[in-house]
Structure 1
Amino acid sequence: MAHGWPAVLVDDLVRLRPLRRRDGPAWLELRAQNQSWLEPWDATSPVPVDGPRPTFAQFVRTLSAQARSGTSLPFAVDYAGELVGQVTVSSITYGSLRSGAIGYWLSEHVAGRGVMPVAVALAVDHCFTTVGLHRIEVNIRPENRPSLRVVEKLGLRDEGVRERFLHIGDRWCDHRSFALTAEEVPDGLLARYRATRPAP
């Protein structure tokens, strides 16, 4: 098993855990309910894919294999005990780079409650402390305001625009790249985020 996996990360009502096959019905319903909310940002293949789409069980098996090999950390996001989204650390590289990229999606019905900034901070802290990565990046479409708010709240560094970075829909789309290194958050990203939030 890869270092740092499986893992369960918790802060108050937000919980990150491995995605399971029994999450299938809730996950599929959530994606269907949020299709118009999520589809504009979902990556697609520029090459036509033949054959049936993978089942949810096949999807989970693929993610689990990537996690075991140490190239990905695919977390389900629970909020108050309910599955509400996903955070995935992908493109994990060791050696002299020791980096990864984080992608995420969240159900619209819990957007704006601070769920995703906490979830991303938990994942980043896990990557820096337990997994031993040095750098994390997040790439976001410039038009995706909800996703941009997450990295703004967390104070990630804006490294500029990557032109035609990712295929979405029927075209190659520009993305803004945000990054963070372990030296920037010696006490953890979650602690820094908490310190910058207004008192309740």
Structure 2
Amino acid sequence: MFGLRAKPPELREDAWDEPPHGTLLLRRLKLADRREWHAVRRANRDWLTPWEATVPFVEGEPHPTGGTYSDYLSSLNASARAGESFMWGMFVDGRFAGQISLGSISYGSLRNAHIGYWVSQEFAGRGITPTAVAMIVDYAFQDLKLHRIEINIRPENRASLRVAEKLGLRFEGLRERYLHINGQWADHNAYAITAEECGLGMMRRWRNG
């Protein structure tokens, strides 16, 4: 059904005179990325843990285990083949810097998806995340022909809130106890944008301020 949508394409932005001041490549994670992925995740454990999604325990349901990196890639590939979600690694001048996803993809009368992301503390504040989000929004609207994109962010996560604000996403309100984060149900601020609001493209909007 999804044809060429069965895997996320590589997306590239060369930005030498503006953030992120280098080449940002979004591509699928590979088995060869295992060592670097684990190293970055270990180095950023304290930086990321407060914002990480978790799975609540429900009596009678099997609780998921961590699994291996290979298991993780298999899960990502299965979701991509099903057309449910795409995940990209963010690589800055060849170095792994984080991940960004386009998830809960719906077609039909809704044509909606969610964007989620994380970036290594080493690369934070360099314009990498808003650039990556702009690239994914343009891909979602221009290639997948989606109509609406959401980003849901913890109110305490100022760094992520600034990404949505910099890109001019519309604040839609507070979603109480929306996602299970770091072991508890947590409120989130909801931001969204539609294809009509995006006009000629999110990247152009981001670059033009």
| Category of TM-score, reference length = shorter chain | over 0.9
Q: Does 1:161 align with 2:174?
A: yes
Superposition pairs for residues 55-74 of structure 1, below 5 Å?
A: 55-74=68-87
Shift of 1:164: 0.3
Counterpart residue number, 2:10: 8
Cα distance in 1 between the residues matched to 2:185 and 2:104: 19
Bigger shift: 47-56 or 76-85?
47-56
Q: Does 1:27 align with 2:37?
A: yes
RMSD: 1.3
Q: Deviations over 1:42-73 (max 9, x none)?
A: 01011176575210011011001111111101
Residue of structure 2 aligned with 1:40, choices 50, 57, 62:
50
Quick one: percent identity of the two aligned structures? 46
Counterpart residue number, 1:146: 159
5+ long unaligned stretches in structure 1? none
5+ long unaligned stretches in structure 2? 15-22
1:142–1:51 distance in 2 versus 1, CA, 3 Å: closer
1:28–1:136 distance in 2 versus 1, CA, 3 Å: same
Counterpart residue number, 1:87: 100
Cα distance in 1 between the residues matched to 2:85 and 2:175: 22
Cα distance in 1 between the residues matched to 2:54 and 2:103: 16
Specify the SS of the correspondent of 1:131.
Answer: coil
Counterpart residue number, 2:19: none
| Residue pair 2:170, 2:191 contacting (<8 A) in 1 also | yes
| Residue pair 1:3, 1:70 contacting (<8 A) in 2 also | no
Q: Does 1:130 align with 2:143?
A: yes
| TM-score, normalisation: structure 1 | 0.94
Residue of structure 2 aligned with 1:99, choices 107, 112, 115:
112
Cα distance in 2 between the residues matched to 1:41 and 1:124: 22
| Residue pair 2:100, 2:118 contacting (<8 A) in 1 also | yes
Cα distance in 2 between the residues matched to 1:152 and 1:176: 12
| Residue pair 2:90, 2:96 contacting (<8 A) in 1 also | yes
* Matched length: 196
Bigger shift: 152-161 or 16-25?
16-25
